[in-house]
C-alpha cells in the first residue's frame, strides 16, 4: 500500500496544516474566553445587568488592561502578538459575528419597514448626521500630541466623525434579544436605523481610506453603485432562495438541511459584499433580511441558540482584548477620552431623539432609540483598527475610540430597558411576538415553551 503524494504546496513548505502549539493556543484562547464570558455574563445577570456587560468585561480582564500587567508572561503566551496567531482567533470570531448579524436580519420585519419607512429614514439620517458633525468638530479640538500627523488634522477630524456616527448592529442585536425587545416597534426601528447608518458609515470609511492613501473618489462611487446592484440582486433572489432553503419536508433532516443552506447563504452574501468594497456584515444582514426572514423561525432556532450562546459571547469578550486602559493614566489621554466619549453619547442620542420626535414619536420612544443606537461595540473597534492601519490614529487615540465602543455598549442596555418599560405595547407588536416565539423551539410541530422560558432561550441565557 502506497502513501498518497503530498500536495506540491505542502511539499514546498508554503503551507502547513494547523497543529502543534498554534492549535493548542487557539483552542485555549477560545475555551478561556468563552468560560470567562459565560461566568461574568451570569454574574452580570445576577446583579441586574445584561449578560453582555459581563461578556465585554471578560476581554478587558484577560487583555492588556488587567492580566497583561498582572501576569504579562501568561498574556504573552495565551494571546501572543504574532499576527498569524491573532488572525486564527479573529477568523473564528468573524464567522460568529457574521452569523449573529445574519440571524438578526432574519428577525427583520420587512412589512414594518414598508409601513414605517419614513420614520426609520428620519431616525437614521438624524442619528447619522448629528454625531458625524459632532465628531468632526471634536476632531479639531483633540490635542496635537495625540495625532499621528498634526498637519492632516482635517483627515483625523473626518475619521473621528465617521467613527462616532456608526452603530454596532451585532451588539444591538444581542441587547434587544436579551431584553426581549426585538418584536417591539422600537426594536425594529433601532435595527433598521442601525443597518442604514452602518452601511453609510462603511462608505464614508472608504472615503477616508481613499484620502489617506492618496486615492481618488472614483472607487467610492463604484462601491456605492456595486452596493445598489447587490441589494437589487438580493431582492430578486429572495423568493427562489427561500423556497430552496425550505423545500424539504419537515423533520430533523429537513431542519439540518435548512441550517446548512442558511449558514452558506450568510457567508456567501458576506463574501459578496466584501468583494465590492463594503463590510462583510452588510452582506450578512442582507442575507438574513431578504432570505432567512422568509424561513420558518422554528427551523432556524438551533442556529440562533449556537450563535447566541457560543459565538456572541466569544466575539464580545474579544473586544476587550484590543484595549489597554492603562494608557488612560496619562491626564491628556484621559481628558481626551472623556471628551470624545461625551461627544459620542450626546451626538448619537440627540440625533436619534430628534429624528424620533420629528416623526411624532413619543418622548420615551425617542429616549429608547437614542439609548439603543448609542451602542458602538465591535464595529467601532474595527474602524479604529482601520485608523491605525491607515496611520490616521496613534495608539492613544485608538484607545480613546475603543473606550467609546465599550462604554456605550455597557450603558445602552439599562437605558433601553428603562425607557422601553414606559412604552405601551400595540396589537401589531403582540402579533410579531407570537411569530417570534418560533425562535425558541427547534423543531416544527413542537409547542412553544412558556413565555418566560422563551425569552430566556431567545436571549441565549441558557
Say which range, 5-19, 48-62, 389-403, has the weakest mean pLDDT. Answer: 5-19
Say which range, 207-216, 283-292, 414-423, has the weakest mean pLDDT. Answer: 207-216
Percent of the chain at pLDDT > 70 equals 84
Q: Comparing 157 with 448, which gets the higher pLDDT?
A: 157
CATH of domain 98-312+335-372+379-458: 1.20.1530.20
Q: Which residue reads 440625533 in cell numbers?
A: 351
By the 8 A CB rule, do 354 and 369 touch? no
Per-residue pLDDT, averaged over 437-443, amounts to: 55
| Confidence tier at 457 by pLDDT (50, 70, 90) | very low
Q: Comparing 254 with 267, which gets the higher pLDDT?
A: 267
Q: Comparing 7 with 374, which gets the higher pLDDT?
A: 374
Cβ contacts of 37-44, under 8 Å, gap ≥ 24? 37/313, 37/314, 37/316, 37/317, 38/313, 41/313
**Predicted local distance difference test score (pLDDT) of residue 247:** 73
Mean pLDDT of the chain: 79
**Model confidence at 386: pLDDT above 50:** yes
**Predicted local distance difference test score (pLDDT) of residue 27:** 92
**Predicted local distance difference test score (pLDDT) of residue 38:** 92
Q: Which residue reads 488612560 in cell numbers?
A: 328
**Model confidence at 453: pLDDT above 60:** no
**Model confidence at 346: pLDDT above 90:** yes
Give the three-class secondary structure for 147. strand
Per-residue pLDDT, averaged over 186-208, amounts to: 79
| Confidence tier at 217 by pLDDT (50, 70, 90) | low
Q: What is the pLDDT of residues 83-132, one digit of tens each?
A: 778 888 888 888 888 888 888 778 776 666 677 778 888 888 998 999 99
CA of residue 46 relative to chain centroid, distance: 25
Q: Which residues pair with 393 in a beta bridge?
A: 147
Instruction: Kindly state the cell numbers that stand for 25.
Output: 493556543
By the 8 A CB rule, do 147 and 141 touch? no
**Model confidence at 441: pLDDT above 60:** no
| Confidence tier at 17 by pLDDT (50, 70, 90) | low
Alpha-carbon distance of 192 to 120, in angstroms, equals: 7
Nearest in space to 127 (alpha carbons), one of 349, 407, 440: 349
* DSSP code string of 268-331: HHHHHHHHTTS-HHHHHHHHHHHTGGGS-HHHHHHHHHHIIIIIHHHHHHHHHTT--GGGGGSH
Nearest in space to 258 (alpha carbons), one of 299, 211, 222, 316: 299
- Give the CA angle between residues 181, 119, 407 to the nearest 5°: 50
Exposed e or buried b per residue across 211-238, where buried means at least 16 C-beta atoms within 10 angstroms of its C-beta: bbeeeeeeebeebbebbeebeeebeeeb
Instruction: Kindly state the cell numbers that stand for 408.
Output: 456605550
**Predicted local distance difference test score (pLDDT) of residue 218:** 66
Nearest in space to 412 (alpha carbons), one of 316, 332, 272, 336: 316
3-state DSSP helix/strand/coil % of the chain, to nearest 5:
80, 0, 20
| Confidence tier at 449 by pLDDT (50, 70, 90) | very low
162 CB-near residues (< 8 Å, 6+ apart): 132, 135, 201, 204, 205, 208, 383
Domains of the chain: which residue ranges? 98-312+335-372+379-458
**Predicted local distance difference test score (pLDDT) of residue 387:** 82
| Confidence tier at 271 by pLDDT (50, 70, 90) | very high
Amino acid at each position: 500500500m502506497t502513501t498518497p503524494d503530498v500536495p506540491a504546496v505542502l511539499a514546498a513548505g508554503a503551507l502547513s496544516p494547523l497543529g502543534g502549539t498554534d492549535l493548542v493556543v487557539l483552542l485555549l484562547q477560545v475555551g478561556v474566553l468563552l468560560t470567562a464570558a459565560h461566568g461574568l455574563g451570569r454574574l452580570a445577570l445576577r446583579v441586574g445587568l445584561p449578560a453582555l456587560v459581563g461578556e465585554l468585561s471578560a476581554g478587558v480582564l484577560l487583555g492588556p488592561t488587567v492580566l497583561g500587567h498582572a501576569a504579562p508572561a501568561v498574556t504573552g503566551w495565551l494571546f501572543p502578538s504574532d499576527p498569524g496567531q491573532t488572525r486564527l482567533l479573529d477568523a473564528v470570531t468573524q464567522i460568529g459575528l457574521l452569523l449573529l448579524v445574519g440571524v438578526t436580519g432574519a428577525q427583520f420585519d420587512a412589512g414594518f419597514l414598508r409601513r414605517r419607512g419614513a420614520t426609520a429614514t428620519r431616525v437614521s439620517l438624524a442619528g447619522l448626521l448629528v454625531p458625524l458633525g459632532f465628531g468632526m468638530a471634536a476632531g479639531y479640538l483633540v490635542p496635537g500630541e495625540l495625532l499621528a500627523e498634526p498637519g492632516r488634522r482635517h483627515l483625523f477630524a473626518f475619521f473621528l466623525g465617521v467613527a462616532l456616527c456608526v452603530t454596532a448592529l451585532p451588539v444591538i442585536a444581542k441587547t434587544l434579544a436579551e431584553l426581549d425587545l426585538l418584536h417591539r416597534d422600537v426594536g425594529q426601528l433601532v435595527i433598521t436605523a442601525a443597518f442604514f447608518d452602518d452601511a453609510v458609515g462603511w462608505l464614508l470609511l472608504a472615503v477616508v481610506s481613499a484620502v489617506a492613501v492618496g486615492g481618488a473618489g472614483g472607487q467610492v462611487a463604484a462601491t456605492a453603485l456595486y452596493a445598489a446592484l447587490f441589494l437589487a440582486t438580493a431582492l430578486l433572489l429572495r423568493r427562489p432562495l427561500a423556497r430552496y432553503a425550505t423545500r424539504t419536508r419537515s423533520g430533523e433532516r429537513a431542519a439540518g438541511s435548512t441550517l446548512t443552506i442558511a449558514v452558506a447563504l450568510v457567508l456567501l452574501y458576506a463574501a459578496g459584499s466584501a468583494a465590492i468594497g463594503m463590510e462583510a456584515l452588510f452582506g450578512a444582514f442582507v442575507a438574513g433580511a431578504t432570505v432567512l426572514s422568509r424561513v420558518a423561525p422554528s427551523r432556524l432556532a438551533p442556529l440562533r441558540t449556537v450563535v447566541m450562546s457560543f459565538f456572541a459571547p466569544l466575539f464580545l469578550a474579544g473586544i476587550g482584548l484590543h484595549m489597554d486602559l492603562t494608557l488612560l493614566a496619562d491626564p491628556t489621554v484621559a481628558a481626551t477620552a472623556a471628551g470624545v466619549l461625551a461627544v459620542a453619547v450626546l451626538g448619537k442620542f440627540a440625533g436619534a431623539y430628534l429624528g424620533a420626535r420629528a416623526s411624532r414619536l413619543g418622548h420615551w420612544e425617542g429616549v429608547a432609540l437614542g439609548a439603543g443606537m448609542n451602542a458602538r461595540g465591535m464595529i467601532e473597534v474595527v474602524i479604529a483598527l482601520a485608523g491605525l492601519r491607515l496611520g490616521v490614529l496613534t495608539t492613544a487615540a485608538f484607545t480613546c475610540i475603543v473606550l467609546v465602543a465599550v462604554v456605550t455598549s455597557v450603558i445602552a442596555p439599562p437605558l433601553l430597558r428603562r425607557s422601553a418599560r414606559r412604552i405601551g405595547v400595540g396589537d401589531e407588536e403582540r402579533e410579531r411576538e407570537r411569530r417570534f416565539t418560533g425562535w425558541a423551539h427547534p423543531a416544527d410541530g413542537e409547542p412553544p415553551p412558556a413565555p418566560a422560558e422563551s425569552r430566556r432561550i431567545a436571549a441565549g441565557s441558557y
